[in-house]
């Protein structure tokens, strides 16, 4: 892999160096997401460039297979970034899973200790009667949930019409 880095520009080499295991281990989930976006953008750029060059060569050569060997560096660049994206994706998945498990454990611990965020924990008077406040819910019209439900219902109605 080190020999292939010679075909990259300096800023591209710097991006590939950020994907080293030692450096990935230091990043949190948000930083990994930002790195993932940058590597994906670079991979897309090089893949697009390779495909365009190969497509232009198809007319001259008469076949895609015959046009491919002339663009070895383009294909290698795309492959380097494909591998880098894979490494970042794997690390991001691991960190996201760890974060989700930690959050789940925290919520379970809070629920078991009696500090739940459920409906009975907020807005109750000392005699156990609710003060009318609904906790954890946004009851206003136009919330994202109601908008999504409305959109789904519209899509179902349209699908029903289309199937007739």
pLDDT digits (tens, 9 = 90+) for 62-93: 777 777 767 678 888 889 999 999 999 999 99
- Position 97 scores a pLDDT of 94
- Residue 158 belongs to a domain: no
- Residue 12 belongs to a domain: yes
User: Sign of the CA dihedral 75, 77, 78, 84?
Assistant: positive
Residue 142: both structure tokens together? 């136009």
pLDDT band, very low/low/confident/very high, at 53 (cuts 50, 70, 90) = confident
- Position 118 scores a pLDDT of 61
- Position 89 scores a pLDDT of 94
- Position 124 scores a pLDDT of 46
Is pLDDT above 90 for 42?
yes
- Residue 65 belongs to a domain: yes
- Give the total number of structural domains in the chain: 1
pLDDT digits (tens, 9 = 90+) for 82-132: 999 999 999 999 999 999 999 999 999 888 887 666 665 555 444 444 444
Residue 59: both structure tokens together? 């007319």
- Residue 74 belongs to a domain: yes
DSSP structural state of residue 4: G
- Residue 88 belongs to a domain: yes
- Residue 160 belongs to a domain: no
**Contact between 80 and 16 (Cβ < 8 Å):** yes
**Contact between 46 and 78 (Cβ < 8 Å):** yes
- Residue 91 belongs to a domain: yes
Closest by Cα among 87, 90, 73 to 17: 87
What residue numbers bound the domain in which 74 lies? 1-113
Q: What is the rounded average pLDDT for all residues in the chain?
A: 81
Cα 53 versus chain centre, distance: 29
Residue 70: both structure tokens together? 């002339």
- Residue 33 belongs to a domain: yes
Compute CA distances 37 → 43, 50, 80, 121, 134, whole Å.
Answer: 10, 20, 16, 40, 39
Is pLDDT above 90 for 140?
no
């Amino acid at each position: 892999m080190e020999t292939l880095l010679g075909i990259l520009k300096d800023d591209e080499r710097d991006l590939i160096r950020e994907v080293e295991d030692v450096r990935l281990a230091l990043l949190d989930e948000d930083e990994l997401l930002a790195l993932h976006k940058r590597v994906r953008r670079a991979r897309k750029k090089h893949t697009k460039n390779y495909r365009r060059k190969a497509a232009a060569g198809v007319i001259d050569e008469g076949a895609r297979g015959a046009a491919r060997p002339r663009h070895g560096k383009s294909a290698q660049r795309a492959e380097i970034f494909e591998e880098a994206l894979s490494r970042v994706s794997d690390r991001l998945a691991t960190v996201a899973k760890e974060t989700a498990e930690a959050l789940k454990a925290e919520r379970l611990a809070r629920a078991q200790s009696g500090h739940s965020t459920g409906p009975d924990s907020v807005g109750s008077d000392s005699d156990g009667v609710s003060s009318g406040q609904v906790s954890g819910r946004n009851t206003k019209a136009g919330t994202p949930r109601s908008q999504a439900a409305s959109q789904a219902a519209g899509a179902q109605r349209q699908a029903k019409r289309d199937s007739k």
